[in-house]
Every structure is written in structure tokens, then in C-alpha cells.
Amino acid sequence: MKNTPHAQAPFPIKRRQLLAAAGAVGASLWLPAHAQTAKLPRLVTLGGAITEVVYALGAEGQLVGTDTTSLFPPAALNTPKVGYMRSLSAEGLLSLKPDAVIGTTEAGPVVVLDQLRSAGVRVDLIEADHSWAEVQRKIQAVGRSAAREPQAKALQAKLDADWAVVQKEVADAVKSRGRKPKVLFILAHGASPQVAGGKTAADAMINFAGGINVMTGFNGYRAMTAEAMAAAAPDFVLTSTQGIEAQGGLEKFWARPELALTPAFKKRALVQLDALELIGFGPRLPQTVRTLCQQLVLA
């Protein structure tokens, strides 16, 4: 076939520019993750569960800082820390040059958050009400602030489906057992352990897992007393692994005289989980409820 003048002629300038641009886009797919995310919003997260969502969305390359409760996944330990989420410093946060700060309504002080807003930083605070909706709000907030809304929708759909399955599993387990176990949650991170009443993350977790919180008649946390333990008569004690460590181990934990008055003490019926997993209300919630149900209801 004879060559035509058109075939021999170079590409028109506009066409060559388009091909060059396409090649540049293709090459960008092979760039390191930090280079690909360089133009995406820079994030600071205040709350371990929110940090978990960032990693679940594959947005960890956008993290420039996290608070001290951000301990999972292990890679989060290596992120720059901005302090505890309730005692923040505007100077420390602004030094990281974040585009967005994501936390719960427990974050503060308020004056620091106002300073961030005045400096042009987006501050997205999520209501913590210890519900499945709280987990959904965290996923949506991270999706918005990280410019990853399609990934957030996909993650939420996956977790919503798992949550529906877990709820049925718990209902079936309670029906099979015939009654709900009585559970006492002890917050033992300090020298004076406290018990969890209503409107706490621990109370919500006990109920989600098919148990009954034995501490009724008050909201929040109260000191653990011998009289309250005897009256409550829990089948199980629920606490965090960090609490056990803070008390000096299992033997010292059980050595507290208040616990000796409970049915749980006689059987050494103790369930312990990592604090963030247990009461963090993050993307691991469905699996955590499943685990708790197996150890409390199906035990």
C-alpha cells in the first residue's frame, strides 16, 4: 500500500499534546503513594476509631497527625502525635498544616477548635452517642474530609451488611441460651476502678452483645463499692486488657474485695478486650460484638 502524504505527516500539534498528557496520567499510576496523595487533603484525626476509618479507606497517606488514642492499626503508632484529644494545642495542630481535623464532640478545648477554624482549617466533629449510626457518621465524615466519598460509601455498605448479620446472630444466641447474661463493666485504668452505668459506650456494647448491664439507676461511671457488687450479682465481669495491666495482672485484679461478693468471682468469669476495640465504636464494631456475644452469651 502506498504511503499517503497524510500518513507521512507528523501528528497535529493538539493530538500530540493529548497523547503526551495521557502518557503523564499513566505514569502517575506508578508513583509512590505519598506522591499520588500529595494534592489530597492533609488530615489530623482525634480519636482512635476515626483513625481506623482513615486506614480502612486507604487514606493513611493523607494523615499528618493523630491523637494519643490512635493505637490501631500498629502503623498509627508511628504518626506524629498531637496530644490527648481533650487537651489539644492550636500551635501544635497548626504546625502540621492540616486541611481538615476530624474528631468527635469530645474533642477540645473549644477555644482551640475555634482557632483552627479561624486559620481556615476544616473541623468536622462527630456526635458520640454509642450507636451504629455513630460508626456510620465517622465513615461519612472521613470520606468527606479525605475526598474519598466513593470509598466511604463502599465501606459503609459492607459494614452495614455485616452489622445486620451480627444482630441476627446475637438474637439467635440469646434465644438459644434462654436468658441474657448479667454483665458488669469495670473501668480499671486508674487506682480507683469505676463501674459503667447507662449512656456509656460499655453499656451499649453489653446490650449489643446480648447481655444486661447490671449497673442501673444512673448514667456515666461511679466508684466500685462492695454493696453495689453484692446487689448487682453479675455473671460476668467485662473490662479492658489495659485495665488488667494497670491493676498489676489478673490475680491482683481479682484480689479486690468488692469482687469477692459476686457470682462472677466464684467462676473467675472475666472477659477482656483491647479498650479501643471494646469501646471505640469504629469499623471493627461488628466483629467485636460477635466476639463478645460468643464469650458472654454462648460461653
What topology does CATH give the domain 176-296? Rossmann fold (3.40.50)
Per-residue pLDDT, 9: 37
Contact 93/178 with Cβ under 8 angstroms?
Answer: no
72, pLDDT greater than 50:
yes
The DSSP element (H or E) to which 75 belongs, if any, is none
132, pLDDT greater than 70:
yes
Contact 136/113 with Cβ under 8 angstroms?
Answer: no
**What number is the average pLDDT over the span 6-34?**
38
Per-residue pLDDT, 38: 53
Domain segments of the chain as ranges: 35-147, 176-296
DSSP 3-state of 235: coil
Per-residue pLDDT, 10: 34
From CA 122, how far away is CA 178, in angstroms rounded? 50
Residue-wise pLDDT for 277-297, tens only, equals: 999 999 999 999 999 999 999
Average of per-residue pLDDT values in the chain = 89
191, pLDDT greater than 90:
no
Residue-wise pLDDT for 105-129, tens only, equals: 999 999 999 999 999 999 999 999 9
204, pLDDT greater than 50:
yes
**Half-sphere exposure of 176 toward its Cβ, with a 13 Å CA cutoff?**
13
Residue given cell 438459644 in the structure block: 176
Per-residue pLDDT, 228: 86
Per-residue pLDDT, 4: 39
Instruction: Please tell me if the domain spanning 35-147 has the same topology as the one spanning 176-296.
Output: yes
The second-level CATH assignment, the architecture, of 35-147 is: 3-Layer(aba) Sandwich (3.40)
Least trusted range by pLDDT, from 4-8, 78-82, 190-194? 4-8
70, pLDDT greater than 90:
yes
**What number is the average pLDDT over the span 269-280?**
97
Per-residue pLDDT, 23: 40
Per-residue pLDDT, 190: 85
**Which residues lie closer than 8 Å to 9 by C-beta, 6 or more apart?**
none
**Which residues lie closer than 8 Å to 3 by C-beta, 6 or more apart?**
none
From CA 282, how far away is CA 130, in angstroms rounded? 10
271, pLDDT greater than 60:
yes
From CA 276, how far away is CA 150, in angstroms rounded? 26
Higher pLDDT, 50 or 10: 50
